A and B are shown apart, each in its own frame.
Chain A
């Protein structure tokens, strides 16, 4: 290795217009900084982020040949980008400039004690300077990306996304598990609040999909496997045989007439029957028959054969085989939709037991057929709707509101009333959620039409054994009376659940799902269509219950997000990635197991990191016995240097706690606490890491050895974490550390691992203060114990080899 050139570090101490200098004695900090190793120059400036401040940095880099810069000012979350850009203007690699957070972490939370705030500011500056000694220029890797998109699910969201992408010139592979596209929207009668006929507005879109040269449709298909990463997803699609040539088929229906097999028609929710060979629906696209081999009497050997006999265009071919198709995609959009809540899970409502209890989708199908003059189930005059079935219900584990049921029930009620004004219709609701455009007006129309809204949730439904009508007893909570009535039919407004397909794809792609079971977005506010997996986007009800306009909006949005990634032909990866030194790696494979993102694989007997998949959490590092792995930008050397800087000048009696703060949550949380001017113990010194998994047991043991009185680790709560699985890894690393402490006779309470979200201000303050109290009571760790810990850490390291 070439001898390292001696660094030339420039330190800039910001007054922040008084925000810092009113508390921290900035001159003392500047003086202190001048005496730090390798510091070439120090400036004290009123507003570093201003033109003047930035100009100073640029000129100094150029004129003084600075190769590293530390700005002691606000949080890097705040102005980090500003200074990175300034450095870049002067030709300095953006990873050679960093900040010491002396505002949010010192001046603001410790405003009550100027001396303590200043001491801490000095220490934070020292930590920044010394870690920058180990900094190296880093390049963001650019990876090529093509124009091919896999869209999973051809419901309205999948259809919209596909059309947007194909119109923009991208190649779309659209995979649908059913024989026809359109999803649940194809089953609906009308849509709220416009009362459009669902199939009428859907059909042209479905036709567009079929005709678009940019869209390859794989219908009746399954995704067998997806591997790879953004820019290089390898997808294995299995197209199931329909045994009918869709191009040749004229949908004349002769085959259906002669087929001897009768099964329930799933498109009609089982209310009607179909044959084994059938047209999926009157509006089915592709408009061709399909042979359901599970219902058919037998194909091998051929048991019947009547359908092929009568087909006058020879479209039926019993020898069709499943097709395995390999597709390469650069990005993926998951639009796999919902299933309705299975009302059998609430036996007290008698669904599937009482013939006059229906769910809402069944009613949709009944109404669609009624519109064509067919009565698939006779409806009476008195009809009741029960809301919130399977939603807002702790007893079935679905705490969320399904969003669309109040509106779809109002729509169904209006349709029934339009058809027959003498109908008496009741809706038993808990809250009426009419939040969207035109919704409140729609509800008003329903009231004007005489639909009766009762605020009360029925506990159970009973069947009158004489006439099979349904007896409803409900509390009218607004008058505190119990209402009792007999209804011809009761319709259960069932909620939405993530579909089976959504759950399967989530597992295949390792997409996290939220506590409600739906696909989790990368950031609830600012990245609602991205996922934790780079290059995979989500749209529609797979992400959460929503109506058609919202699904369409999300679909177009997801398409735009994908285009954004693909449009330049290349995109940049963050340079914070794990790197394995092939010279040290002995191929043991432990890191492959350890990586929570499955980003490491064995290649030619060595472990290799797939950079696009690597999340940069550092969880792999402690698994390597050969010290072959390091994390770029947040290297082992840099972190150790920072730990040493924090502790080497500690005097006996002083109390110092190292807090490893993950960038996404804990660091922001600490910033928030400081900004709110909430005070906490200045004993706490924050080391910023991408994930606390970066703090290996070895590093933490060394920190104690060097004099740390306590160590805290903060990580995002799993639901908001950009790193899947780090919680468990950190837990294990902390256990390892505690076991070493135990052996050395050091109190385990000196270590705390917490998972935070950025709003837990009080918890942060309480936990840091409590650790400070505990460690102060316990006192500094005596030297013999620290030495013993060092020995034990060494032994454990040797045991690993």
Chain B
């Protein structure tokens, strides 16, 4: 279904908030697509990394409802390759934080298999909880 995004002041507010959280020049992204093809988990995402950036540029809060921002593995490959010098990993983190700071958790800690928990190294648990819990 083709979406219609209404351009309004509310959109600018969202983009401005992301700008604040990242100190990043989001307006510089020219949508070349290098981030999408560099991303190791792009195929697991519902929208490609470049679209995450595009929706932020348009101020479309729909991006907060995507799976993509949680599939990101913070590998920084996009950051290292962006020809405009934009840091997409920071933008994606900001989007996660906006959701997590509403006191929600993406990771359901209570329902991890106890056997798993025993075998998982601390580094895995700490990093997962830092990224996925608010």
Q: A395-B81, A395-B82, A482-B48 are in contact. Are A459 and B31 (CB under 8 A)?
A: no
With both chains docked as a complex, state the minimum distance between the C-beta of A379 and any C-beta of chain B, in angstroms.
Answer: 25
Whether a CB of chain A sits under 8 angstroms from the CB of B47 is yes
Selected from B31, B47, B77, B84, the residue in CB contact (under 8 A) with A394 is B84
Selected from A395, A474, A475, A480, the residue in CB contact (under 8 A) with B83 is A395
Residues 71-85 of B, flagged 1 when their CB comes within 8 A of A and 0 if not, give: 000000100111111
Whether a CB of chain B sits under 8 angstroms from the CB of A456 is yes
With both chains docked as a complex, state the minimum distance between the C-beta of A372 and any C-beta of chain B, in angstroms.
Answer: 38
Mark out the residues of chain B between 29 and 49 whose CB falls within 8 Å of any chain A CB in the assembled complex.
Answer: 30-38, 42-43, 47-48
Which A-chain residue is minimally distant from B83 (CB atoms)? A393
Selected from A392, A393, A458, the residue in CB contact (under 8 A) with B37 is A458
Whether a CB of chain A sits under 8 angstroms from the CB of B24 is no
> Which chain B positions have C-beta within 8 A of A482?
36-37, 42-43, 48
Q: A457-B34, A459-B34, A473-B37 are in contact. Are A394 and B51 (CB under 8 A)?
A: no
Q: A394-B82, A395-B82, A475-B50 are in contact. Are A460 and B31 (CB under 8 A)?
A: no
- In the complex, the answer to whether A456 meets B43 with C-beta atoms within 8 Å is no
Whether a CB of chain B sits under 8 angstroms from the CB of A150 is no
- In the complex, the answer to whether B83 meets A460 with C-beta atoms within 8 Å is no
Selected from A392, A395, A458, the residue in CB contact (under 8 A) with B80 is A395
Residues 468-484 of A, flagged 1 when their CB comes within 8 A of B and 0 if not, give: 00000111110010100
CA distance A431 to B33 in the complex (A): 12
Main secondary structure of the interface of B (DSSP, over half): helix
Q: A459-B37, A459-B38, A477-B32 are in contact. Are A348 and B81 (CB under 8 A)?
A: yes
> Which chain A positions have C-beta within 8 A of B33?
455-457, 474-477
> Which chain A positions have C-beta within 8 A of B38?
459-460
CA distance A99 to B51 in the complex (A): 59
Which B-chain residue is minimally distant from A458 (CB atoms)? B37
> Which chain A positions have C-beta within 8 A of B36?
456, 459, 475, 477, 482
> Which chain A positions have C-beta within 8 A of B35?
459
With both chains docked as a complex, state the minimum distance between the C-beta of B7 and any C-beta of chain A, in angstroms.
Answer: 20
> Which chain B positions have C-beta within 8 A of A459?
34-38, 77, 81
- In the complex, the answer to whether A477 meets B50 with C-beta atoms within 8 Å is yes
With both chains docked as a complex, state the minimum distance between the C-beta of B133 and any C-beta of chain A, in angstroms.
Answer: 30
Selected from B31, B42, B43, B81, the residue in CB contact (under 8 A) with A477 is B31
Selected from A348, A457, A460, A473, the residue in CB contact (under 8 A) with B32 is A457
With both chains docked as a complex, state the minimum distance between the C-beta of B75 and any C-beta of chain A, in angstroms.
Answer: 12
- In the complex, the answer to whether A475 meets B37 with C-beta atoms within 8 Å is yes
With both chains docked as a complex, state the minimum distance between the C-beta of A140 and any C-beta of chain B, in angstroms.
Answer: 48
With both chains docked as a complex, state the minimum distance between the C-beta of B43 and any C-beta of chain A, in angstroms.
Answer: 7
Mark out the residues of chain B between 49 and 64 whose CB falls within 8 Å of any chain A CB in the assembled complex.
Answer: 50-51
Mark out the residues of chain B between 75 and 115 whose CB falls within 8 Å of any chain A CB in the assembled complex.
Answer: 77, 80-85
> Which chain A positions have C-beta within 8 A of B32?
388, 430, 456-457, 477
CA distance A477 to B30 in the complex (A): 11
- In the complex, the answer to whether B51 meets A457 with C-beta atoms within 8 Å is no
CA distance A392 to B82 in the complex (A): 10
With both chains docked as a complex, state the minimum distance between the C-beta of B54 and any C-beta of chain A, in angstroms.
Answer: 9
Which A-chain residue is minimally distant from B36 (CB atoms)? A475
- In the complex, the answer to whether B37 meets A480 with C-beta atoms within 8 Å is no
> Which chain B positions have C-beta within 8 A of A395?
80-83, 85
> Which chain B positions have C-beta within 8 A of A431?
30
- In the complex, the answer to whether A458 meets B34 with C-beta atoms within 8 Å is yes
- In the complex, the answer to whether A474 meets B37 with C-beta atoms within 8 Å is yes
With both chains docked as a complex, state the minimum distance between the C-beta of B69 and any C-beta of chain A, in angstroms.
Answer: 16
- In the complex, the answer to whether A475 meets B81 with C-beta atoms within 8 Å is no
> Which chain A positions have C-beta within 8 A of B42?
475, 482
> Which chain B positions have C-beta within 8 A of A458?
34, 37
With both chains docked as a complex, state the minimum distance between the C-beta of B63 and any C-beta of chain A, in angstroms.
Answer: 13
Q: A459-B38, A475-B36, A482-B43 are in contact. Are A394 and B85 (CB under 8 A)?
A: yes
With both chains docked as a complex, state the minimum distance between the C-beta of A515 and any C-beta of chain B, in angstroms.
Answer: 15
Which B-chain residue is minimally distant from A457 (CB atoms)? B32
CA distance A394 to B84 in the complex (A): 5
Which B-chain residue is minimally distant from A392 (CB atoms)? B83
CA distance A476 to B51 in the complex (A): 11
- In the complex, the answer to whether A460 meets B51 with C-beta atoms within 8 Å is no
Which B-chain residue is minimally distant from A430 (CB atoms)? B32
With both chains docked as a complex, state the minimum distance between the C-beta of A348 and any C-beta of chain B, in angstroms.
Answer: 7
CA distance A321 to B71 in the complex (A): 69
Mark out the residues of chain A between 386 and 420 whose CB falls within 8 Å of any chain B CB in the assembled complex.
Answer: 388, 392-395
Which A-chain residue is minimally distant from B81 (CB atoms)? A459
> Which chain A positions have C-beta within 8 A of B81?
348, 395, 459
- In the complex, the answer to whether B48 meets A480 with C-beta atoms within 8 Å is yes
> Which chain B positions have C-beta within 8 A of A476?
33
CA distance A600 to B98 in the complex (A): 64
CA distance A459 to B37 in the complex (A): 5
Residues of chain A having any CB pair with chain B under 8 Å: 348, 388, 392-395, 430-431, 455-460, 473-477, 480, 482
Q: A456-B37, A460-B38, A476-B33 are in contact. List 18 more A-B contacts (CB 8 A).
A: A388-B83, A392-B83, A393-B83, A394-B85, A430-B32, A456-B36, A459-B36, A459-B37, A459-B38, A460-B37, A473-B37, A474-B33, A475-B42, A477-B33, A477-B50, A480-B48, A480-B50, A482-B42
A-B residue pairs, 4 tightest by C-beta? A459-B38, A475-B33, A475-B36, A394-B85
A–B Cβ pairs within 8 angstroms, 9 of them = A395-B80, A455-B33, A457-B34, A474-B33, A475-B33, A475-B48, A477-B31, A482-B36, A482-B43
